[in-house]
Amino acid sequence: MRRPEALARWLADTLRRRWLKRLVAGGLYAGLLTALLGASSYLALSNFVRSGVIAVPDLVGLAVSEAGTTLAAAGLTVRRVEEDRHDEAIPAGHVLRHDPPAGSAVKQDSGVVVHVSRGRQLVETPDLTGQVLQTVQVRLAASGLQLGRSRSVYAEFGVPGTVIRQSPPPHSRVEPSSRIDVMVNLANPGASFVMPDLIDLPEAPVRTYFETRGFRLGRVKYEPYEGVEAGIILRQYPLPGHPLRQGDSIALVVAARQSR
């Protein structure tokens, strides 16, 4: 009969051998399972590559030409290009999005629909020529723009106090809140003209001539005058040849329609 100490050693050795056998068997099983999974993944990847399936590259932010080059390098093509919405971040003519999106698995030589940005939404500058500054400010604010620098200059054209030039010019495309600079015409106090002879001329074209050049008509009196057609100028002040400055008042006496 075995002594208790010998029996204990024998049991311990037996249990240790069994544990080692199980550990070796488990390791072999795990190794075999890993090998099988690896082989399966390799076969699946090989099948994926052989089948010609390609992941769509990310084209967002690229110019259309760059997007076409990138797709060609990946074995894909541009099916069509469509203009999309305005965008604050992506410039006009650059890819805003594409279909299928980046990372999608597609067949080789598949086409991708590219949607390009219109860029930032621009505003058209209104024509401010001939308008006073108060009107200019209202029109610019209504267009989402701002009045920039205002310079006063002497010019031989345009009505004093109105805009004769602007920058950027009318109908330009600018970003919202852009500033528009203007030049305002001033009446030249030193400019002197010679009063022309207005007698026997019709009132209407004379009035238009002076008012469009910054002069103003003062009192216009209508008197019947036999033998003279209504609307013809009979007398004038200042007299012909008299010095005349812008701002001076011009008085006329005009033939009135005679009552019958």
- Which segments of 63-129 does DSSP mark as H helices, in order? 64-73
Out of 186, 205, 230, a domain closes at: 186
**CATH number, position 66:** 3.30.10.20
Model confidence over 38-67: pLDDT tens digits? 555 444 545 544 457 899 999 999 999 999
Model confidence over 123-175: pLDDT tens digits? 999 999 999 999 999 999 999 999 999 998 877 777 888 999 999 999 999 98
Looking at residue 154, what is its pLDDT?
A: 77
Residues 198 and 179 occupy one common structural domain: no
Residue 250 backbone phi and psi in degrees, to 5: -110, 125
Q: How far apart are CA 164 and CA 185, in angstroms?
A: 6
Residues 197 and 178 occupy one common structural domain: no
Tell me the average pLDDT across 12-22: 63
The secondary structure element, H or E, covering residue 164 is strand 163-167
Query: What percentage of the chain exceeds 70 in pLDDT?
Result: 77
Residues 34 and 83 occupy one common structural domain: no
Residues 129 and 180 occupy one common structural domain: yes
**CA dihedral for 240, 242, 245, 249, sign (positive or negative):** negative
Residues 212 and 237 occupy one common structural domain: yes
Name the average pLDDT for the chain: 83
Domains of the chain: total:
4
Model confidence over 20-44: pLDDT tens digits? 566 555 555 555 555 555 555 444 5
Looking at residue 181, what is its pLDDT?
A: 96
CB 57 within 8 A of CB 98: no
Residues 19 and 72 occupy one common structural domain: no
Amino acid, single-letter form, for residue 156: E
Residues 32 and 86 occupy one common structural domain: no
Q: Which domain holds residue 214?
A: 193-256
Taking CA atoms, 45 is separated from 42, 50, 54, 100, 201, in Å, by 5, 8, 12, 22, 98
Residues 109 and 150 occupy one common structural domain: no
Looking at residue 45, what is its pLDDT?
A: 45
